[in-house]
Amino acid sequence: MRKIKLFMDTLIEIKIATWNGTAEKEAEAAAERAFEHFRKVEQACSRFNPESELMRACSIAGKPVNISPYLFGPLKFALEVANATDGRFDPTIGKAMEQHGFNQNYLTGERISTASIDSAATYRDIILDESTRSLRLKKPLIIDLGAVAKGFAIDLAAAELNGFEGYIINAGGDVYARGLERKDTPWKIGLQHPVKTAEVIEVFDISNQAVCTSGSYERKNEDNPENHHIILPETTRSPNRWVSSTVIAPSAMLADALSTACFLMEAEEADILLEAAGARGRLITPELKIVKVGGNKDDI
Amino acid sequence: MGKMDKKWVVLCSAAVAAVYAGGFYTTEQDAVKMESAHYEFLNKQTNGQVSNPNKEKTNSLNSETINTPKQQYRDGTYTGMGMNRRGEIQVSVTLKKDKIVDVQISDWGMHYSEEDVVNLPDQVVADQSYNVENVSGATYSTEAFKNAVQDALSQAENS
């Protein structure tokens, strides 16, 4: 069973293995429910829709705003990663993204332009209260959850499909694979070649793991090709140390956030981060040298 | 940096559990908002802002035309085609009261027939690792997809 739909400006594909007698009808109904999670996360976390929970919350500084678990969960996680990386990864990058031209709603074609904000704002200006599930901004800022929202939606969709022995969710190159594709055959996930994009550069056998890649080759700034969609908060520029950063982890949200964080780091830092997080990855230089990071170097 | 592997995986699962525990399903309000975004998308297309030289319709959509009771599109599910680097793409678009309620790639919604399953293992051996369907790091271009959606919309148009 295979279905593909459009959410979050990308194609989301769900495949459920039916080699083990899984009924097509059941699989289709479950896939529909899984897709709904992408819709909900997009509604809650979109930076491109002024009516999203995220953007409504960003328009109010100084007082607490109650938010749904569709926004609270990924935001809390993004703050944890920001904390662990001392702000190298920072979800308050939204305004800088907007200024770099990543400001267009893919459905309406409209460009957003938010009020001018304090450029010194960081993740430390976001206060979450778990008991009331509320968010308070210490100063006006724009949150971008581009590095976690898709991963979160994949994790939610995966939870919906967990009754099936084998399935795969591919959200525009961020993938979660469960169980086996066929009897005795794990899912194979290719890592896209950063230059020859029709080819893959490496293939992983994956079961119960997510593989997420952040590549500088996918979403270039139209006006300034030097800038892509991954921005270093400190300089608000795009680093070009790597052309792609891939992380394999048990959760898609984890892999998604870490692949972005690693993109912004030196190999040694990325290695320490991934090892501590129980994840592994691949960093690819502009000269196409593949650097293994995290995990056990002997078995990957 | 200490070991935080458990902590982070636990945080991810807790975020998922919070959604499920809350039984947090769409409020009607949110659904309406999402649809209104689709609705504007629809209007943009008929205004020719999404390029389609075959479209001649140039009605300017102000609040009056939006409120016109006659629907611009017939309700139902329509099929459209577009092209991208992966080849031809076919979508099915479901419309209800001039709103796009669902968009699905239909020509990839294939079902394995028994024959397909028999051949698959051979294919994997033959292709080895360099021809895998699931690729990390490949964001599909949505341009072709949008053209296909527009194609479907033109078929749904009320004359």
| Element housing A206 (H / E) | strand A200-206
b/e sequence A42-76, b meaning 16+ C-beta within 10 Å: bbbbbbbbbbbbbbebbeebeebbebbbbbbbbbb
Instruction: State how far the Cα of A111 lies from the Cα of A113, in Å rounded to an integer.
Output: 7
pLDDT of residue B90: 79
SS3 B25: coil
Ranges assigned E (strand) in B4-44: none
Check residue A129 and give its pLDDT.
Answer: 96
Among chain B residues, CA nearest to A185:
B121
Query: For A189, which of B121, B130, B132 is closest by C-beta distance?
Result: B132
Nearest Cα to A150, choosing from A39, A244, A76, A226?
Answer: A39
Interface test with A, best of B7, B8, B39, B106 (most A CBs within 10 A): B8
Q: By CA distance, what is A276's nearest residue in B?
A: B3
Cβ of residue A24 closer than 8 Å to a chain B Cβ:
yes
Write out pLDDT tens, residues B81-116: 877 555 567 788 888 888 777 778 776 433 333 344
pLDDT top residue among A93 and A296: A93
* A194 pLDDT more than 70: yes
Q: What is the pLDDT of residue A157?
A: 98
Position B117 scores a pLDDT of 38
Q: Which of A155-159, A231-235, B19-23, B128-132 has the highest mean pLDDT?
A: A155-159
Nearest 5°: the CA angle A180, A181, A185 is 70
Residue pLDDT, tens place only, A2-23: 888 888 888 899 999 988 888 9
A244-280 pLDDT tens trace: 999 999 999 999 999 999 999 999 999 999 999 999 9
Mean pLDDT highest for which of A18-22, A93-97, A140-144, A226-230? A140-144
Show the low-confidence residues of chain B (pLDDT under 50): 1, 25-67, 108-130
pLDDT band at A232 (very low <50, low <70, confident <90, very high): confident
Q: Is B59 exposed, middle or buried (0-12, 13-18, 19+ CB in 10 A)?
A: exposed
Sequence-distant (≥ 6) Cβ neighbours of residue A59 within 8 angstroms: A50
Percent of chain A past pLDDT 70, that is, above it, reads 95
Structure tokens given for B120:
């698959």
**What is this model's ipTM?**
0.90
The chain A residue lying nearest B42, using CA atoms, is A108
Residue A147 marked as a ligand binder: yes
| Across A95-117, average pLDDT | 83
Does the CB of A174 have a partner CB in chain B at under 8 Å?
A: yes
Set of chain A residues whose Cβ sits within 8 Å of the Cβ of B84:
none
Inter-chain residue contact B132 with A203, CB threshold 8 Å: yes
A152 touches chain B (CB under 8 A): yes
What is the CATH number assigned to the segment(s) B76-158?
3.90.1010.20
Q: What is the pLDDT of residue B134?
A: 84
Q: Where are the domains of chain B?
A: 76-158
In this prediction, residue B18 carries a pLDDT of 94
For residues A66 and A132, the answer to whether their CB atoms sit within 8 Å is yes
DSSP-assigned beta bridge partners for residue A206: A187
Residues of B in contact with A147 (CB under 8 A): none
Q: Is pTM, for the whole model, over 0.95?
A: no
CA angle A202, A249, B8 (to 5 degrees): 160
CB A35 within 8 A of CB A10: no
